[in-house]
Structure formats: C-alpha cells, structure tokens
Structure 1
C-alpha cells in the first residue's frame, strides 16, 4: 500500500472518528444558510418588452440606420431612467438598488427586454413596467438627446409585465441551507484533520504495540463503573458478550493462567489511574475467571476480595500516575500486563510506564486494549519489520461488541 493511500485512509479514519464534530459544524452551517435565506428572501423576476420601429427606408429602397440597439439598451439602464423608475414604485428604491435589480438586454434588433427583480411579485412587476415606461418617455421626448434620438422614434410597449417568476421560499432555503451544510461539513473535516495532525494519542493496536514493542493480547469492551454499586455489580453479576468472553479467555490462555494445574498463579494488571475505561479490566478478568470455574481473588491496594477455599488465580489491580508511574509498593506476581484504552495514551506515556515496570524488576507479558477504535483493523501482534515488507497481513474483520446498559 502506497504512502499516499495510507495518508488518505488515515485522513478518512480521522474524519470518521470525529464525525460528531463534523456533523455538528455541518448542522451549524445548515442553520446559518437557512438564516441567511430568511435575511435575504428569494427574489421574484418580471419582464417587460419594448419594441422599436424598424429603421426608415430611403427613396432608393435601402434601409437608413437611425438607431442602435446597443444605444437603446444603454439608455434603458442609464442613471436618469433608473432614478425616475425607482421613485415610481412602492416602496421607493434608490438608483443604486434599482441598478442592482434591473437588467436591459436586446432580445432582437428591434426589441428590448427589461428584467426586474423584487422581494415580492408585485414589486418586481411594478419595477419592470416603471423602467419600461420611463424609458419610453426618454426616447419619445422632443428635448435634445444624443445623436438622432431627439426625433420621435415611435417606440411602444410590446408587452407589459403581468406575472413574476421564482420567489419559492422552500427552494431558496433549500439551496442556501444545503450550501451552508456542505461548507460546514468541509470546514468540520478540515478541523478534524487539523486536530488529528496534532493528536499524539495512540489509537490503532499496531501503533500501541509498536510504542513499546509488546504484543496486544486482546481487545475488550470496557465496563462502565462510576460508583461503588457499579463495581459491586461488576464483581457479582458480570456477564460479558460472546466476543468479550472469547477475548478474556484468550488473555488467560496467552498468559497460561487458565490451566487447572493446582498451582497458584497471579497476575498484575497495570493501568493509569485516570484511564476510566481501562481500570475495570482487572475486575472483569477476575469475574470472568470465576464464572468459568477458576477460583479467583482480586487484590486492590493490598485489600483482598478472596473467596472461601483455595485460590487458583490472584489478580492484582495496580493504578499508577500518568506523569510519574511507580510500582514500588505492589506485590510481585507471575504475570504482568498493561491495560489501556485506545486514544487515551501517547507513546511517551506508555514507554514511561514500561520503563517504570521493568525498573521494578517485572516482565511485561503483553498489552490489553479496552474500547478499541471502531475503525481499527490492525491486530497489534505483527512486528513492525514484517509490516514493512509489504506482504499481506492479517486484519480484524470486526471490532469488539459494544455493551449497552
């Protein structure tokens, strides 16, 4: 896959990941477009036609040109005509506004078409007829005008404006609202890409694995626990989905914690104290192991939640500070994993935690990702050197199932 394809794919994933932001800005653009449409209501269009007499013929039968259609169009759009026409409509219009709303064109060599716009059908009709009538007054007067226009031309109104076109508020708001939504979506996409460019948090399983050179053992949906009753419910009544149950079983199997050998084994689950989605992984593992017949106890801050009888699996939950992780006071165990949620940890923070764990004479056996990015199709178990060879690599067809409560 080329670098350009990767950039396009990552950009599209960044936009999809922040689709709510893009949708919100698009909605703002839609509302802004509709508001603009109401502030600038749709214009009605009306047209009037003025016909000029054919040029007179000489005694020899040849046509004598006494008028120029371009000159007549220029006169129809001249300041004096527009000033007088604007004063003859209700409400009155200034010369500048009348000039914006009136357009005279040569329909043929003898017919001038006068198009006028108005905020209502009545205003558009009145303005088109007013310009035509004032123009007729100007070209049929006896006063001195440029060229041969001092003579009466015999021009007359060919067709008065009686109907107006357009003015549909529904179409008008639809056009401006749609345009605003499109512009808002584009702006939202640009903002999403800008935020993604400056976001150093790890979201993909391959990125998380590459940050510390450790495999991702599994991905699990987090259990939302906000108060003591939620934690009690998790420990007593946790019922994972089939996908999560399989992922938790893989964690136990990969760490050799599911074998019923009679020997006591232990596991430390390390996560950042402020990573609310990763903190429940230890209790989730403990509750699941108990549900499949493995006698399990949970140790939190040296306090045991221990069932009666012998314990085959002891799970220690260790929470560390993101900026200064330390594991000095925690008990040693046979296995150690780091739990983190996608999109909450940078490579530097994860590496700092790994260094602190190794400095405490512990071996990290792997990573567990909670709430993986829904657009992540990587597995986090292929070495970075293998991915650089360009060979076809395994990908996830689906993510983890989402829990609804």
Structure 2
C-alpha cells in the first residue's frame, strides 16, 4: 500500500471522526448562502429581438454580413446606447449597471437578441425593450456612425420583451444555500486536516501497539464515572455488553488470570491520572470477574476494597502522571497491563510510561484500549515488520458494541 493511499485513508478517517465539526461548518455555510441569496435576490431574464435589413453587397456582388452583424452587436452594447436606455427605465440605471444587466447576441446574420436582467419581471422586460428602442434610434440617426449606418432604414423590433423567466426565490436560495454548504464543508475539512497534521495522539490500535512494541489485548467501552456514587455503582452493578464481556474475558484469559481455585493471582492496571476513559478499567475488570465466579478485590492507593475471606484475583489500580510517570512504592503483582483510551496519548508519553514501568522491574504484558476509534479496523497484535510487507492482515469488523435504541 502506497504512502499516498495511507495519507488519503488517514485524512478520510480524520474527517469522519470530526464529522460534527464539518457538519457545523457546512451548516454555517448553508445559512451564509441563504443570507446572501436574500441580500442578492434572483434576477428575471427577458429578451427582445431586432431584425436588420439584408447586408449591403460589395462591389464583387458578395454580401458582407459577418462584418455588419458584429458591428451592430458592438453598437447595441456601446456606452451611448446603454446610457440612454438606463435613463429611460424606472428606476434609472447608470451605464455600468446597465452594462452588467444587458447582453447583445447575434442570433443570425440579420437578427440580434437583447437579453436583459432585472430584480422584477417588469424591470427586465422594460430594460430589454429600452435598449432595443435606443439601438434603433442610433442606427437610423442622421449623425455619422461607423460604417455606412447613417439614415439606414429597414431595421425594426421583431419581437418585444413581454414575458420574463427565472426569478424563483426557492431555486435561487437552493443554489446559493447548497453552494454555501459545500464551501463550508470544504472549509471544515481543511480545518480538520490542518489540526490533524499537528496532532500526534495515537488513535489506531496498530499505532498504539507499534509505539511500545506491545500487543493490544482487547478494546473495551469505557464506563463514565465522575463522582463516588458512579464508582460505587460500577463496582456493585456493572453489566457489560456482550462484546465488552467477551473482551474482558479475553484479557483475563490471555493473562492467565481466569482461575477459580488454586493460588492467588494479581494484576496491576496502570493508566494516566487524567485519562477519564481509561481509569475505570480496573474496577470494570474486578466487577466482571465477580460475575464469572472469580472472587476479586480492588486495591487503589494501597486501600483494599475486597470481600471477606481469600480472593482469587487482586487488581491494583495505579494512576501515574503523564509528564513524569513513576511506580515507586506500589506493590508487585503477577501481571501488569497499561490501560489507555484512543486518541488521548502520544507515542512519547506512552514510551515514557513503558520505560518507567520497566525501570521499576516490571514486565508489561499488554495494552487495553478503551473507547477505540469507531473507524479503526486494526487489531494491534501484528508485528510492525509484518505490516510493512503489504500482505493482507486481519482486521476488526467493529471496534466495540454500539447500543441501539
């Protein structure tokens, strides 16, 4: 897979992940387009047709119509004609305003169409007829004009502008609103990509695994706990979804902690103190273990929360500082894992934590990702060198279960 394909996929994931921002920008653009449509109302279009006499023949007997019709179009759009026509309509228009609304076109070698625009059907038809009438005056005048146009006869209005088309406010608003929404969405996407360019946080399981060379054991939905009552409810009434229950069971099994008898085992769950989505993983594991018949206890800052009697699994929750992590004074356990939520940690921060853990003479047995990116199809268990070969790799169909109404 080429680097360009990877960049496109990464950019598309970033846009989908920030789709609310893009949608908000599109909504702002839509409102801006609608507002502009009301400030610049739709214009009506009207047309008048002028027929000219046959062009004069040259000395050799051939007609010179092509040159003649171009001259007539030029005269119809000239400043004197537009100035007089603008003064003959209500409200009056300047030469430049009239020029912006009028267009003369040669339909055939002896027919000219005058197209005029106006904010109302009456103004559009009035301007088209005014230009046509002034043009006829100019080409039949006694004054000397370019070519042999003096006292020319036979030119007349073939069809006056009677009806005007266009001017639909619904269509006008829809066009400008749609264009504004498109431009807003593009602007939102550019903002997202610019922000993503400087964002070093790890979002994909493969990225997280590659940062420290450790496998991702499972992905779990986080439990929202903001006050003591939430934590108490988590320990007493936690009921994971089927997907989360399977993921938690795999964590215990892969760490050989799903024992229901024999020697006591223990697990240290390390997470950053400010990672609100990863902190509840230790209590989630402890509560889940109890539901599958494994007696467990939870140790937080050397404070034990366990039932009476011996327990089969003791889970220690260790919270560390993001900038200067250290595990001094914490108790050794059978297994150690790091819990982190997707999109909250950089490779450097995760590496610092891994170094501090190893420096405390602990072996990290794996990673658990909470709230994975919904568009992440990687699993974080394949060696980085194998991924570079470009061979087809296993992917996840979904990250975590989505609750439906």
What TM-score bracket applies, with the shorter chain setting the length?
A: over 0.9
Q: Could you tell me how far apart the structure 2 residues matched to 1:213 and 1:57 are?
A: 91
Matched residue, 2:226: 226
**Taking structure 1 as reference, are residues 214 and 227 closer, same or farther at Cα in structure 2, changes over 3 Å only?**
same
Equivalences for residues 112-127 of structure 1 within 5 A: 112-127=112-127
Which 5+ residue runs of structure 2 have no aligned equivalent?
none
Matched residue, 2:190: 190
Matched residue, 1:304: 304
Matched residue, 2:44: 44
Matched residue, 2:210: 210
Q: Could you tell me how far apart the structure 1 residues matched to 2:228 and 2:69 are?
A: 89
Where 1:325 maps in the other structure, the secondary structure is coil
Where 2:188 maps in the other structure, the secondary structure is helix
Where 2:340 maps in the other structure, the secondary structure is strand
Q: Could you tell me how far apart the structure 2 residues matched to 1:57 and 1:297 are?
A: 110
Q: Could you tell me how far apart the structure 1 residues matched to 2:387 and 2:75 are?
A: 75
Deviations 1:70-111 (A, max 9, x none): 222222111111111111111111000101111112222222
8 A contact 1:298–1:317 mirrored in 2: yes
Q: Could you tell me how far apart the structure 2 residues matched to 1:356 and 1:404 are?
A: 41
Matched residue, 1:139: 139
8 A contact 2:259–2:312 mirrored in 1: no
Bigger drift between 258-267 and 200-209 goes to 258-267
1:160 aligns with 2:160: yes
**Taking structure 1 as reference, are residues 314 and 115 closer, same or farther at Cα in structure 2, changes over 3 Å only?**
same
Provide the TM-score with structure 1 as the length reference. 0.94
Where 2:116 maps in the other structure, the secondary structure is strand
Q: Could you tell me how far apart the structure 1 residues matched to 2:391 and 2:151 are?
A: 89
Q: Could you tell me how far apart the structure 2 residues matched to 1:57 and 1:332 are?
A: 110
**Taking structure 1 as reference, are residues 402 and 147 closer, same or farther at Cα in structure 2, changes over 3 Å only?**
closer
Deviations 1:181-226 (A, max 9, x none): 2222222222222222211111111111111111111110000111
Q: Could you tell me how far apart the structure 1 residues matched to 2:388 and 2:109 are?
A: 73
Matched residue, 1:367: 367
Query: Aligned-pair distance for 1:64?
Result: 7.8
1:250 aligns with 2:228: no
Count of aligned residue pairs for this structure pair: 404
Provide the TM-score with structure 2 as the length reference. 0.94
Bigger drift between 279-288 and 65-74 goes to 65-74
1:177 aligns with 2:177: yes
Q: Could you tell me how far apart the structure 1 residues matched to 2:62 and 2:154 are?
A: 17
**Stretches (4+) displaced over 4 A:** 55-58, 60-67
8 A contact 2:50–2:157 mirrored in 1: yes
Matched residue, 1:16: 16
**Taking structure 1 as reference, are residues 62 and 294 closer, same or farther at Cα in structure 2, changes over 3 Å only?**
closer
What RMSD in Å do the two structures reach over aligned CA positions?
Answer: 2.2
8 A contact 1:114–1:132 mirrored in 2: yes
Which 5+ residue runs of structure 1 have no aligned equivalent?
none
Query: Aligned-pair distance for 1:3?
Result: 2.9
8 A contact 2:116–2:127 mirrored in 1: yes
Q: Could you tell me how far apart the structure 2 residues matched to 1:240 and 1:201 are?
A: 27
Q: Could you tell me how far apart the structure 2 residues matched to 1:37 and 1:57 are?
A: 51
Query: Aligned-pair distance for 1:390?
Result: 3.0
Matched residue, 2:73: 73
8 A contact 2:55–2:68 mirrored in 1: no
Q: Could you tell me how far apart the structure 1 residues matched to 2:389 and 2:107 are?
A: 70
Bigger drift between 158-167 and 139-148 goes to 139-148
Q: Could you tell me how far apart the structure 2 residues matched to 1:140 and 1:235 are?
A: 99
Query: Aligned-pair distance for 1:65?
Result: 6.5
Matched residue, 2:106: 106
Matched residue, 1:334: 334
**Taking structure 1 as reference, are residues 61 and 371 closer, same or farther at Cα in structure 2, changes over 3 Å only?**
closer
**Taking structure 1 as reference, are residues 358 and 63 closer, same or farther at Cα in structure 2, changes over 3 Å only?**
closer
Where 1:248 maps in the other structure, the secondary structure is helix
**Taking structure 1 as reference, are residues 351 and 63 closer, same or farther at Cα in structure 2, changes over 3 Å only?**
closer
Q: Could you tell me how far apart the structure 1 residues matched to 2:227 and 2:190 are?
A: 39
Query: Aligned-pair distance for 1:147?
Result: 3.6
Deviations 1:31-60 (A, max 9, x none): 2222222222211110111222335789x9
**Taking structure 1 as reference, are residues 63 and 201 closer, same or farther at Cα in structure 2, changes over 3 Å only?**
closer
8 A contact 1:221–1:402 mirrored in 2: no
Query: Aligned-pair distance for 1:360?
Result: 1.3
Bigger drift between 114-123 and 24-33 goes to 24-33
Matched residue, 2:398: 398
Q: Could you tell me how far apart the structure 2 residues matched to 1:30 and 1:92 are?
A: 34
